[in-house]
C-alpha cells in the first residue's frame, strides 16, 4: 500500500468517523483500513486518532493532516486528470442515490442505455427517500426533489418537477368534482407524512403569485408515494403528487386531474455532490446523460 492510498483511507475514516463505515464505503476489509492508519501514524511519527470501543477522536495532528490531505488528494486527482485525454473512456464505480419513485419508475428502466454507452462504468444505486450523508456513506452524488437544506454540497440544478392534483372517478362520483378552492371544504385528501420528519404535509393551492396551505380532512395518512397513489386509486381521497408519478393513470382514466389552475409551482430537482473543485469523469458523463432522460420522462410535463 503506497503513501497516497494510506492518506486516502485516513481521510475517509475521518469523514465517516468510523473504521467500519470507511471500510464499507471503500469496499475494503476493516483490517486493511486499521493497518493503513497504523502505518500512517508510524510514518508521520504522531498519533492521528484516539480509538475506543465505541468511537474515534481526531487528534490535533490528525486534524492538521486531514485538512492538508484533503487538499493534496484533490490536487493529485486534478493533476492525474490533466494527463487523460478528454475523449478517454470513463471508468470505475459510480455510487448514486435517488428518491424511491424516481429510481424505480424513471432511472432504473433507463440505465441500460447508460451502461451500453459506458461499458467501463459500474453503477451502485441506492433508492431511498431519506437524506443521505454523501461523505460518510461514500456516495458520489444524490438526486433530490424539493428545496435544499445542505450548505456544504455542490448543487447542480437539473430542472423543475410539475405537480398534479387528482382523484379517482369513484371518489369524484361520490363527493363531486371541485370547481373552485371553496369547494374543497366538502372534500377529503389522502394525507402524506414525511418519513424523515413525521410532519403531515398540507394541501397547497396557488392563487396567482400566492401559495396557500389548507388543512383538509383526511381519514388515511401514508408515508410513501406508492401508498398515497394506491389510496387515491381506491377512492379514499384526492392527492397532490408529481405529474410523472401518475401520468399513466391519468392517461388510462384511472385518475382524473382536478383544480389544475391551483397546482403549486414545480419543485426543483437537484443533483448534489461533495467535491468543490473537481468531479470525476464518470460523474460528468452521468450528469450529461441524466439531464435529457429527466427532460423526456419527468420535467416540463403539461397536464
Residue 105 has pLDDT above 70, yes or no: yes
Worst-scoring range by mean pLDDT, 69-73, 116-120, 179-183, 188-192? 69-73
Radius of gyration from C-alpha coordinates of the chain:
24
pLDDT, residue 151, reads 62
- Helices 3-16/60-82 angle, 10° precision: 120
Structural contact between residues 294 and 174, judged by C-beta atoms closer than 8 angstroms: no
| Interacting residues of 178 by C-beta distance below 8 A, sequence separation 6+ | 184, 187, 258, 259
Residue 194 or residue 167, greater confidence: 167
Segment 230-264, tens digit of pLDDT = 999 999 999 999 998 899 999 999 999 999 999 99
Lowest mean pLDDT among 49-58, 122-131, 193-202: 193-202
Which pLDDT value is given to residue 22? 85
pLDDT of 83 reads 58
Q: What band does 150 get if pLDDT is binned at 50, 70 and 90?
A: low
Query: What distance in Å separates the CA atoms of residue 81 and residue 106, rounded to the nearest whole number?
Result: 32
Contact 152, 135 (CB under 8 A): no
At residue 54, the pLDDT reads: 74
pTM for the whole structure:
0.65
Per DSSP (E only), the strands in 99-189 are 121-127, 141-145, 154-161, 163-167
- Tally the residues of the chain: 303
As a whole number of angstroms, the distance between CA 229 and CA 255 comes to: 9
DSSP code for 105: I
pLDDT at 183: 92
Helices (H), 30-168: 30-44, 60-82, 100-102, 108-117, 134-137
Kind and range of the H or E run holding 95: strand 92-98
DSSP labels, 14-29: HHHT-HHHHHHHHT--
Local structure of 141: helix, strand or coil: strand
**Contact (Cβ atoms closer than 8 angstroms) between residue 297 and residue 243:** no
Instruction: Tell me the pLDDT tens digit for each residue of 155-180.
Output: 888 888 899 999 999 999 999 999 99
User: How far from 189 is each of 73, 167, 261, CA to CA, in Å?
Assistant: 52, 9, 18
Amino acid at each position: 500500500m503506497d503513501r497516497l492510498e494510506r492518506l486516502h483511507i485516513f481521510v475517509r475514516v475521518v469523514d465517516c468517523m468510523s473504521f467500519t463505515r470507511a471500510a464499507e464505503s471503500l469496499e475494503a476489509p476493516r483490517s486493511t483500513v486499521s493497518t493503513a492508519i497504523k502505518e500512517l501514524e508510524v510514518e508521520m511519527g504522531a498519533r492521528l486518532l484516539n480509538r475506543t470501543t465505541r468511537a474515534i477522536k481526531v487528534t490535533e495532528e490528525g486534524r492538521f493532516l486531514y485538512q492538508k490531505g484533503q487538499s493534496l488528494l484533490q490536487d493529485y486527482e486534478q493533476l492525474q486528470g490533466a494527463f487523460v485525454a478528454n475523449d478517454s473512456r470513463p471508468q470505475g464505480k459510480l455510487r448514486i442515490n435517488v428518491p424511491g419513485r424516481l429510481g424505480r419508475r424513471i432511472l432504473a428502466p433507463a440505465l441500460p442505455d447508460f451502461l451500453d454507452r459506458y461499458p467501463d462504468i459500474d453503477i451502485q444505486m441506492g433508492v431511498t427517500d431519506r437524506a443521505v450523508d454523501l461523505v460518510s456513506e461514500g456516495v458520489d452524488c444524490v438526486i433530490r426533489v424539493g428545496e435544499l437544506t445542505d450548505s456544504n454540497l455542490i448543487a447542480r440544478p437539473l430542472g423543475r418537477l410539475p405537480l398534479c392534483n387528482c382523484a379517482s372517478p369513484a371518489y369524484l362520483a361520490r363527493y363531486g368534482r371541485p370547481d373552485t378552492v371553496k369547494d374543497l371544504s366538502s372534500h377529503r385528501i389522502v394525507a402524506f407524512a414525511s418519513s424523515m420528519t413525521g410532519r403531515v404535509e398540507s394541501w397547497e393551492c396557488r392563487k396567482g403569485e400566492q401559495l396557500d396551505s389548507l388543512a383538509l380532512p383526511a381519514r388515511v395518512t401514508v408515508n410513501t408515494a406508492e401508498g398515497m397513489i394506491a389510496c387515491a386509486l381506491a377512492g379514499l381521497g384526492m392527492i397532490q403528487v408529481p405529474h410523472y408519478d401518475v401520468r399513466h393513470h391519468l392517461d388510462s382514466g384511472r385518475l382524473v386531474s382536478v383544480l389544475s389552475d391551483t397546482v403549486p409551482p414545480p419543485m426543483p430537482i437537484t443533483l448534489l455532490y461533495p467535491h468543490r473543485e473537481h468531479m470525476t469523469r464518470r460523474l460528468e458523463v452521468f450528469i450529461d446523460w441524466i439531464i435529457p432522460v429527466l427532460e423526456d420522462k419527468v420535467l416540463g410535463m403539461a397536464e
